[in-house]
Amino acid sequence: MRRNKKERQLLLKEKIKDNPFITDEELADFFQVSIQTVRLDRLELNIPELRERIKNVAARTLEKEVRSLPLDEVIGEIIDLQLDDSAISIFDVKGEHVFKRNQIARGHHLFAQANSLAVAVINDELALTAKATIRFTRPVKIGERVVAKATVGKVDKEKGRTTVEVKSSVGNEKVFHGEFEMFRQTSS
C-alpha cells in the first residue's frame, strides 16, 4: 500500500530511529518507492545517509572505553557499547572474507565478529572465551552487512564467569547465534 508523502516521512523517521543501519535500498523496498524518493525524503528531514549515521553512532561509542581488548582487535566496528550489558557491531563482508568459488563468507569471520564483541562487552581488564556454543543459520554473501548484537546474561561471581549471547543478522534475517561463556579476571 502506497502512503502519501507526509505519512511516508513520519514512518521513515521511525524506521531509521529503530534501525539506524537500514539502507536506502531496504527503505525503498519497504515503502515501494524509488531509492531517489527515499533520499529526497531523508534530505527534507535532515536525516544523514547511512555512512554518516554509522559514524555518529560510532563516535558516541568510542567515548566509552573497551577494557578487555584494544578497539583495533575487535572484528567489525563497534557502534554501541554498554559494558557488562550489551553491545552492537557491524561487519561488511568483502572479497577477502569469502570463498572465491561461491562468494560465501568464511565462518571464522562471523565467529570472530561475535567472539570479539563478547570479549569487548565485558567490563574487565581480562576477558577470555572459556566455552562457545555456536550455530550458523544461513550463509552470508559478499556485499552483505552483518549486525551482531551481544547481550550479557548470567554472571557467576564464584567461578568468575559471565554468559554472553550474540545474535548476528543481515537485515532482519538471523545468520548466526552464539552463547559464549566468558572467563573474567575479577567478578565485578
Q: What is the pTM of this model?
A: 0.67
Q: Is 183 exposed, middle or buried (0-12, 13-18, 19+ CB in 10 A)?
A: middle
pLDDT, position 60: 57
Q: How many percent of the chain have pLDDT more than 90? A: 63
Domains and CATH numbers, the chain: 5-47 (1.10.10.10), 66-184 (3.10.129.10)
pLDDT, position 124: 85
**166 touches 149 (CB < 8 A):** yes
Return d(Cα 36, Cα 134) in angstroms, integer. 40
